[in-house]
Protein backbone atom coordinates (compact mmCIF):
# COMPACT_ATOMS: atom_id res chain seq x y z
CA UNK A 1 0.00 0.00 0.00
CA UNK A 2 1.25 3.42 -0.88
CA UNK A 3 1.88 6.15 1.59
CA UNK A 4 1.44 9.82 1.02
CA UNK A 5 2.61 12.96 2.62
CA UNK A 6 -0.09 15.03 4.25
CA UNK A 7 -0.02 17.61 1.49
CA UNK A 8 -0.20 15.06 -1.28
CA UNK A 9 -3.04 13.13 0.33
CA UNK A 10 -5.05 16.24 0.98
CA UNK A 11 -4.51 17.46 -2.55
CA UNK A 12 -5.36 14.00 -3.81
CA UNK A 13 -8.52 13.72 -1.77
CA UNK A 14 -9.70 17.16 -2.72
CA UNK A 15 -9.21 16.61 -6.39
CA UNK A 16 -10.61 13.09 -6.17
CA UNK A 17 -13.75 14.66 -4.79
CA UNK A 18 -13.92 16.85 -7.88
CA UNK A 19 -15.39 15.46 -11.05
CA UNK A 20 -13.33 14.03 -13.79
CA UNK A 21 -14.46 14.81 -17.30
CA UNK A 22 -15.84 17.46 -19.61
CA UNK A 23 -15.61 18.60 -23.21
CA UNK A 24 -13.25 21.53 -23.62
CA UNK A 25 -13.74 22.13 -27.36
CA UNK A 26 -16.04 22.98 -29.08
CA UNK A 27 -17.57 25.13 -26.40
CA UNK A 28 -19.81 22.91 -24.30
CA UNK A 29 -23.10 23.58 -22.56
CA UNK A 30 -22.68 25.14 -19.16
CA UNK A 31 -25.01 25.48 -16.16
CA UNK A 32 -27.20 28.58 -15.87
CA UNK A 33 -30.48 30.00 -14.62
CA UNK A 34 -32.72 27.73 -16.69
CA UNK A 35 -30.95 24.75 -15.24
CA UNK A 36 -31.28 26.25 -11.79
CA UNK A 37 -35.03 26.57 -12.05
CA UNK A 38 -35.45 23.06 -13.46
CA UNK A 39 -32.97 21.16 -11.32
CA UNK A 40 -33.01 23.27 -8.18
CA UNK A 41 -30.59 25.57 -6.47
CA UNK A 42 -28.41 22.88 -4.92
CA UNK A 43 -28.02 20.80 -8.07
CA UNK A 44 -27.15 23.99 -9.90
CA UNK A 45 -24.63 24.92 -7.23
CA UNK A 46 -23.13 21.45 -7.43
CA UNK A 47 -22.46 21.80 -11.15
CA UNK A 48 -21.67 25.49 -11.20
CA UNK A 49 -18.90 24.83 -8.72
CA UNK A 50 -17.63 21.79 -10.63
CA UNK A 51 -18.98 21.19 -14.10
CA UNK A 52 -16.75 18.10 -14.27
CA UNK A 53 -19.00 16.32 -11.77
CA UNK A 54 -21.10 13.25 -12.50
CA UNK A 55 -24.83 12.59 -12.77
CA UNK A 56 -24.95 10.39 -9.68
CA UNK A 57 -23.42 13.20 -7.65
CA UNK A 58 -26.18 15.50 -8.86
CA UNK A 59 -28.85 12.94 -8.03
CA UNK A 60 -27.43 12.58 -4.56
CA UNK A 61 -27.79 16.31 -4.09
CA UNK A 62 -31.21 16.37 -5.75
CA UNK A 63 -32.66 13.65 -3.53
CA UNK A 64 -33.16 15.99 -0.61
CA UNK A 65 -34.31 19.02 -2.57
CA UNK A 66 -37.93 20.05 -3.08
CA UNK A 67 -37.04 22.37 -5.95
CA UNK A 68 -35.64 19.51 -8.04
CA UNK A 69 -38.13 18.89 -10.86
CA UNK A 70 -37.18 15.52 -12.26
CA UNK A 71 -39.03 15.90 -15.56
CA UNK A 72 -37.92 19.46 -16.21
CA UNK A 73 -34.35 18.80 -15.15
CA UNK A 74 -34.05 15.76 -17.45
CA UNK A 75 -30.80 15.05 -15.71
CA UNK A 76 -29.63 12.21 -17.95
CA UNK A 77 -29.49 14.59 -20.89
CA UNK A 78 -26.42 16.80 -20.66
CA UNK A 79 -26.54 16.48 -16.85
CA UNK A 80 -29.59 18.75 -16.86
CA UNK A 81 -27.76 21.66 -18.49
CA UNK A 82 -30.17 23.66 -20.63
CA UNK A 83 -30.14 25.07 -24.12
CA UNK A 84 -31.80 28.21 -22.76
CA UNK A 85 -28.64 28.95 -20.83
CA UNK A 86 -26.49 28.42 -23.90
CA UNK A 87 -28.27 30.21 -26.72
CA UNK A 88 -25.18 32.27 -27.41
CA UNK A 89 -23.11 29.15 -27.60
CA UNK A 90 -24.39 27.24 -30.61
CA UNK A 91 -22.00 25.82 -33.18
CA UNK A 92 -22.99 26.03 -36.83
CA UNK A 93 -21.78 23.00 -38.74
CA UNK A 94 -22.21 21.90 -42.29
CA UNK A 95 -22.85 18.39 -43.50
CA UNK A 96 -19.59 16.59 -44.08
CA UNK A 97 -17.60 18.99 -41.93
CA UNK A 98 -14.86 17.51 -39.79
CA UNK A 99 -14.97 18.87 -36.26
CA UNK A 100 -12.13 18.33 -33.82
CA UNK A 101 -13.19 17.56 -30.25
CA UNK A 102 -11.16 17.69 -27.10
CA UNK A 103 -12.15 16.23 -23.77
CA UNK A 104 -10.42 16.85 -20.48
CA UNK A 105 -10.16 13.85 -18.16
CA UNK A 106 -8.84 14.81 -14.74
CA UNK A 107 -8.69 11.32 -13.32
CA UNK A 108 -9.23 7.92 -14.91
CA UNK A 109 -11.98 5.41 -14.20
CA UNK A 110 -12.28 2.41 -16.45
CA UNK A 111 -15.58 2.57 -18.27
CA UNK A 112 -17.26 2.80 -21.63
CA UNK A 113 -17.83 5.97 -23.60
CA UNK A 114 -19.34 7.27 -26.77
CA UNK A 115 -20.00 10.45 -28.66
CA UNK A 116 -23.26 10.83 -30.53
CA UNK A 117 -25.94 13.16 -31.78
CA UNK A 118 -28.80 13.24 -29.33
CA UNK A 119 -32.25 14.57 -30.07
CA UNK A 120 -33.02 16.70 -27.07
CA UNK A 121 -36.84 16.44 -27.11
CA UNK A 122 -36.69 12.70 -26.51
CA UNK A 123 -33.12 12.17 -25.28
CA UNK A 124 -32.60 9.60 -28.01
CA UNK A 125 -29.54 8.99 -30.13
CA UNK A 126 -29.81 9.86 -33.83
CA UNK A 127 -27.86 7.56 -36.10
CA UNK A 128 -24.81 5.69 -34.93
CA UNK A 129 -22.18 6.96 -32.58
CA UNK A 130 -19.27 9.02 -33.93
CA UNK A 131 -17.02 7.35 -31.43
CA UNK A 132 -17.58 4.40 -29.18
CA UNK A 133 -15.10 2.94 -26.73
CA UNK A 134 -15.53 -0.42 -24.99
CA UNK A 135 -12.73 0.54 -22.65
CA UNK A 136 -12.36 4.20 -21.84
CA UNK A 137 -10.15 6.09 -19.44
CA UNK A 138 -8.76 2.90 -18.00
CA UNK A 139 -7.09 3.03 -14.62
CA UNK A 140 -4.69 0.39 -15.89
CA UNK A 141 -2.92 2.53 -18.48
CA UNK A 142 -2.20 6.03 -19.60
CA UNK A 143 -5.28 7.38 -21.35
CA UNK A 144 -4.62 7.15 -25.11
CA UNK A 145 -4.57 10.56 -26.76
CA UNK A 146 -7.27 9.49 -29.19
CA UNK A 147 -9.76 9.17 -26.32
CA UNK A 148 -9.48 12.83 -25.45
CA UNK A 149 -8.73 14.32 -28.85
CA UNK A 150 -10.60 13.10 -31.91
CA UNK A 151 -12.48 14.25 -34.98
CA UNK A 152 -16.09 13.73 -35.79
CA UNK A 153 -17.65 14.15 -39.22
CA UNK A 154 -21.04 15.83 -39.35
CA UNK A 155 -23.43 13.44 -41.10
CA UNK A 156 -25.33 14.56 -44.15
CA UNK A 157 -28.66 13.12 -43.08
CA UNK A 158 -29.39 15.01 -39.86
CA UNK A 159 -30.07 18.41 -41.41
CA UNK A 160 -33.82 18.09 -41.12
CA UNK A 161 -33.75 17.09 -37.46
CA UNK A 162 -30.92 19.33 -36.34
CA UNK A 163 -31.46 22.55 -38.25
CA UNK A 164 -32.97 24.42 -35.31
CA UNK A 165 -30.79 25.41 -32.39
CA UNK A 166 -31.68 23.43 -29.29
CA UNK A 167 -33.07 20.41 -31.12
CA UNK A 168 -29.85 18.40 -31.13
CA UNK A 169 -26.65 18.17 -29.19
CA UNK A 170 -23.47 16.25 -29.67
CA UNK A 171 -23.10 14.47 -26.38
CA UNK A 172 -19.98 12.92 -24.97
CA UNK A 173 -21.00 10.17 -22.57
CA UNK A 174 -18.68 8.28 -20.22
CA UNK A 175 -20.00 5.65 -17.87
CA UNK A 176 -17.79 4.00 -15.28
CA UNK A 177 -20.29 1.43 -14.05
CA UNK A 178 -17.98 -0.16 -11.49
CA UNK A 179 -18.00 3.02 -9.44
CA UNK A 180 -21.42 4.21 -10.61
CA UNK A 181 -20.24 7.45 -12.14
CA UNK A 182 -21.61 8.82 -15.38
CA UNK A 183 -20.23 11.91 -17.02
CA UNK A 184 -21.89 13.83 -19.82
CA UNK A 185 -20.98 16.94 -21.72
CA UNK A 186 -22.86 18.46 -24.64
CA UNK A 187 -22.24 20.76 -27.57
CA UNK A 188 -25.19 22.67 -29.02
CA UNK A 189 -25.16 22.88 -32.78
CA UNK A 190 -27.14 23.25 -35.94
CA UNK A 191 -26.47 21.70 -39.31
CA UNK A 192 -26.99 23.62 -42.48
CA UNK A 193 -25.32 23.86 -45.82
CA UNK A 194 -25.23 21.70 -48.89
CA UNK A 195 -26.40 18.15 -48.84
CA UNK A 196 -28.45 18.55 -45.72
CA UNK A 197 -31.69 19.23 -47.55
CA UNK A 198 -32.48 21.60 -44.75
CA UNK A 199 -35.68 23.49 -45.34
CA UNK A 200 -35.91 25.63 -42.27
CA UNK A 201 -32.36 26.84 -42.34
CA UNK A 202 -30.30 27.14 -39.22
CA UNK A 203 -30.40 30.16 -37.03
CA UNK A 204 -26.80 30.98 -37.58
CA UNK A 205 -25.58 31.99 -34.20
CA UNK A 206 -21.91 32.84 -34.28
CA UNK A 207 -19.76 30.34 -32.49
CA UNK A 208 -17.31 32.93 -31.31
CA UNK A 209 -19.28 34.18 -28.35
CA UNK A 210 -17.54 34.88 -25.13
CA UNK A 211 -19.02 32.16 -23.02
CA UNK A 212 -16.50 31.07 -20.50
CA UNK A 213 -15.54 27.45 -20.70
CA UNK A 214 -12.83 27.69 -18.18
CA UNK A 215 -12.87 25.15 -15.45
CA UNK A 216 -14.17 26.00 -12.03
CA UNK A 217 -10.87 25.48 -10.35
CA UNK A 218 -7.49 25.03 -11.90
CA UNK A 219 -5.94 21.83 -10.76
CA UNK A 220 -2.22 21.75 -10.47
CA UNK A 221 -0.30 18.99 -12.11
CA UNK A 222 0.73 17.74 -8.70
CA UNK A 223 -2.83 17.55 -7.46
CA UNK A 224 -3.89 15.76 -10.62
CA UNK A 225 -1.31 13.06 -10.33
CA UNK A 226 -1.98 12.75 -6.62
CA UNK A 227 -5.63 12.34 -7.48
CA UNK A 228 -4.85 9.54 -9.87
CA UNK A 229 -2.70 7.82 -7.30
CA UNK A 230 -5.21 8.34 -4.53
CA UNK A 231 -8.02 7.13 -6.74
CA UNK A 232 -6.33 3.90 -7.65
CA UNK A 233 -5.32 3.40 -4.05
CA UNK A 234 -8.88 3.95 -2.93
CA UNK A 235 -10.10 1.39 -5.39
CA UNK A 236 -7.40 -1.11 -4.58
CA UNK A 237 -8.23 -0.97 -0.91
CA UNK A 238 -11.94 -0.35 -1.09
CA UNK A 239 -12.84 -3.82 0.12
CA UNK A 240 -10.47 -3.94 3.02
CA UNK A 241 -11.51 -2.77 6.43
CA UNK A 242 -10.48 0.68 7.48
CA UNK A 243 -7.16 0.62 9.21
CA UNK A 244 -6.13 2.44 12.34
CA UNK A 245 -6.01 4.88 14.03
CA UNK A 246 -7.98 2.87 16.52
CA UNK A 247 -10.75 4.83 18.07
CA UNK A 248 -10.56 4.33 21.78
CA UNK A 249 -11.15 7.87 22.86
CA UNK A 250 -12.27 9.26 19.55
CA UNK A 251 -11.75 12.80 20.70
CA UNK A 252 -8.56 14.11 19.27
CA UNK A 253 -6.07 12.20 17.25
CA UNK A 254 -3.09 13.55 15.45
CA UNK A 255 -2.42 12.82 11.85
CA UNK A 256 0.96 11.23 11.27
CA UNK A 257 3.22 12.72 8.67
CA UNK A 258 3.01 9.65 6.47
CA UNK A 259 -0.16 7.66 6.13
CA UNK A 260 -2.25 5.67 3.73
CA UNK A 261 -5.47 6.95 2.25
CA UNK A 262 -7.42 4.56 4.44
CA UNK A 263 -5.69 5.85 7.52
CA UNK A 264 -6.41 9.38 6.48
CA UNK A 265 -10.11 8.65 5.98
CA UNK A 266 -10.26 6.97 9.38
CA UNK A 267 -8.62 9.96 10.91
CA UNK A 268 -11.09 12.20 9.11
CA UNK A 269 -14.00 10.17 10.46
CA UNK A 270 -12.66 10.38 13.99
CA UNK A 271 -11.85 14.02 13.80
CA UNK A 272 -14.95 15.18 12.00
CA UNK A 273 -17.33 13.01 13.97
CA UNK A 274 -19.70 10.24 13.06
CA UNK A 275 -21.96 12.35 10.87
CA UNK A 276 -19.14 12.65 8.43
CA UNK A 277 -18.27 9.00 8.52
CA UNK A 278 -20.76 7.97 5.88
CA UNK A 279 -19.51 10.67 3.58
CA UNK A 280 -15.94 9.77 4.30
CA UNK A 281 -16.63 6.13 3.58
CA UNK A 282 -18.22 7.03 0.30
CA UNK A 283 -15.20 9.14 -0.46
CA UNK A 284 -13.00 6.18 0.35
CA UNK A 285 -14.68 3.94 -2.19
CA UNK A 286 -15.04 6.78 -4.52
CA UNK A 287 -15.49 10.40 -3.77
CA UNK A 288 -18.35 12.32 -5.27
CA UNK A 289 -19.07 15.47 -3.41
CA UNK A 290 -18.84 16.50 0.15
Our CA angle for 226, 230, 231, nearest 5°, is 115
Q: Rounded CA gap, 113 and 176, in Å?
A: 9
Distance in Å, CB of 181 to Cu ion, minimum: 5
**Rule CB under 6 A: is residue 238 a binding residue for ligand NAG?**
no
Instruction: Give residues 84-113 in contact with Cu ion (rule: CB under 5 A).
Output: 109
Q: Rounded CA gap, 179 and 104, in Å?
A: 19
**Rule CB under 6 A: is residue 144 a binding residue for ligand NAG?**
yes
Contact 113, 175 (CB under 8 A): yes
Question: Which helix (H) or strand (E) is 26 found in, with range?
Answer: none
CA proximity to 121, closest of 67, 160, 183, 169: 169
Q: Among ligand NAG, Cu ion, none, what binds residue 285 when CB lies within 5 to 8 Å by partner kind?
A: none
Instruction: Give residues 99-118 in contact with ligand NAG (rule: CB under 6 A).
Output: 112, 114, 116
Sheet of 149-153, strand order: 21-25, 98-105, 149-153
Distance in Å, CB of 97 to ligand NAG, minimum: 20
Instruction: Give residues 114-143 in contact with Cu ion (rule: CB under 5 A).
Output: none
Smaller CB separation from ligand NAG, 173 or 189:
173
φ, ψ of residue 94 to 5 degrees: the values are -120, 155
Smaller CB separation from ligand NAG, 170 or 223:
170
Size of the site for Cu ion (CB under 5 A): 2
The site for ligand NAG (CB under 6 A) is made up of 112, 114, 116, 125, 129, 132, 144, 146, 173, 175
Amino acid sequence: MKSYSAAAALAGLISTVAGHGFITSPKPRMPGDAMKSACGQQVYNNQASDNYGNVQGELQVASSQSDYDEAACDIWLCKGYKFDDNKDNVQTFTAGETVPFTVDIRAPHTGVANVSVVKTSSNTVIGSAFQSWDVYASNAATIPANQTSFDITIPSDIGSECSTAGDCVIQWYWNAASIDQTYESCVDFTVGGSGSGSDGGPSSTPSSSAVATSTAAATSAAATSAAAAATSSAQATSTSAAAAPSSTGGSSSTLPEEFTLDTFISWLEQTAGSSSSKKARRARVHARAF
